[in-house]
Amino acid sequence: MNFLRKLKKIKRGPAIMLQKDIGVILSNTNIDKDSRVLDAGSGSGVLTCNLARFVKRVYSYDNRKEFLDIAKENCKNLLEKDSAKITFKNKDVYEEIKEKNLDLITLDLKEHYKALDNVFNALKKDGEVVCFCPKITQVMEIVDNIKNKFKVVRILENIEREWVVEGERVRPEHKMLGHTAFIVVLRKV
């Protein structure tokens, strides 16, 4: 069974990040097969698993052990051999990030701005951070707290609408997947 089919059957704990938003993250950062990445706020592990498909190493942090256990199980089931690229840690990025010279750090947290000093110290020069923010007030807090440490690369919202094509009948689907989050991409300066 392929990755996307397996994804529909994963165990859920916290809300999962959708593929539409993961695609935005992958296409708006400079990660590649040699990249080392930290995913903070592992949740159910969906972003962690997607990252592991494309990079060399993923460190997945969550301060809630029950979520980390769900993420571990999901990544093992989704990835098989690529799950060996992931190191899971029951840690809090607000307190400390041990890894250094990381290429990318993703933050799916309530108060992203509180982690920015630790994120800065863990990233390599020109490293990137992506903040997944359900609320615009979170974006404002991030921008207000980046000081001279980060440059805003992009602030995005991805709204998805499918289309129906049946012969000469062409129309948008009646349902649309609207706002899920704002995606803030920052670069260390």
3-state secondary structure at position 136: helix
pTM of the model: 0.92
By percentage, how much of the chain surpasses pLDDT 70?
Answer: 99
Nearest CA among 7, 154, 37 for reference residue 104: 37
Say whether pLDDT at 51 is over 80.
Answer: yes
Least confident interval from 2-6, 30-34, 144-148, 160-164: 2-6
Residue with tokens 């809300």: 15
List of long-range contacts for 142-149, beta carbons under 8 Å, 24+ apart: 142/112, 142/113, 142/116, 142/184, 142/186, 143/184, 144/113, 145/113, 145/116, 146/116, 146/186, 148/189, 149/116, 149/117, 149/120, 149/188, 149/189
Contact 135, 7 (CB under 8 A): no
Say whether pLDDT at 1 is over 80.
Answer: no
Residue with tokens 């309530």: 110
Residue 55: predicted pLDDT: 97
Average pLDDT value for residue range 8-37: 90
Residue 3: predicted pLDDT: 82
Residue with tokens 């962690």: 48
Average pLDDT value for residue range 89-105: 98
Say whether pLDDT at 80 is over 90.
Answer: no
Residue 16: predicted pLDDT: 80
Residue 5: predicted pLDDT: 79
Nearest CA among 4, 18, 15 for reference residue 158: 18
- Domain coordinates in residue numbering, the chain: 3-188
Fold adopted by 3-188: Rossmann fold (3.40.50)
How many CB atoms lie under 10 A from the CB of residue 117?
14
Average pLDDT value for residue range 69-73: 92
Distance of CA 66 to the CA centre of its chain: 19
